[in-house]
């Protein structure tokens, strides 16, 4: 198996992680499923854990990243806000840029590894 690089950026404020790979994955799962419950299930986490991560992100950013509607006649729903979409896009762009910038050194480092 050929080695590959993977960057795991975490942006912190004080002792709390504002955004990191798990939170971005949760936002992306909400985009694809439209629900916190379904997103949590896809990621193998409890609804409570997903909700706590969302609450944490919403408190960290100037504008909420997720808007959740409570259940009703047609059930609830969850949407990643335009600010949340910007967070995802920016995070993924940073990952891509880091990989591009380090490509030569990653290749050199990989060459030093055993086959």
> In a structure prediction context, what are the per-residue pLDDT tens digits for the chain, which is 115 residues long?
788 888 899 999 999 999 999 999 999 999 999 999 999 999 999 999 999 999 999 999 999 999 987 665 566 678 999 999 999 999 999 999 999 999 999 999 999 998 8
What is the value of pTM for the model shown?
0.87
Measured in degrees and rounded to the nearest 5, phi and psi for residue 34 equal 75, 15
Helix residue ranges, H only, the chain: 21-33, 36-43, 47-60, 82-111
Please state, in angstroms and rounded to a whole number, the distance separating the CA atoms of residues 32 and 39.
8
Which of 30, 48, 28 lies closest to 39 in space, CA to CA? 30
Task: Give me the domains of the chain, ranges plus CATH numbers.
Answer: 11-111 (1.10.10.10)
Structure tokens at 97: 């840029």
């Amino acid at each position: 198996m050929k080695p590959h690089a993977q960057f795991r950026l975490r942006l912190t404020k004080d002792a709390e992680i504002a955004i990191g790979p798990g939170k971005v994955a949760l936002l992306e799962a909400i985009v694809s499923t439209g629900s916190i419950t379904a997103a949590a299930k896809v990621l193998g986490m409890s609804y409570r854990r997903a909700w706590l991560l969302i609450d944490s992100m919403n408190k960290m950013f100037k504008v909420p990243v997720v808007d959740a509607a409570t259940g009703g006649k047609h059930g609830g729903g969850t949407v990643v806000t335009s600010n949340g979409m910007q967070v995802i896009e920016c995070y993924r762009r940073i990952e891509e840029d880091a990989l591009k910038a380090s490509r030569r050194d990653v290749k050199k480092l990989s060459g030093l590894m055993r086959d």
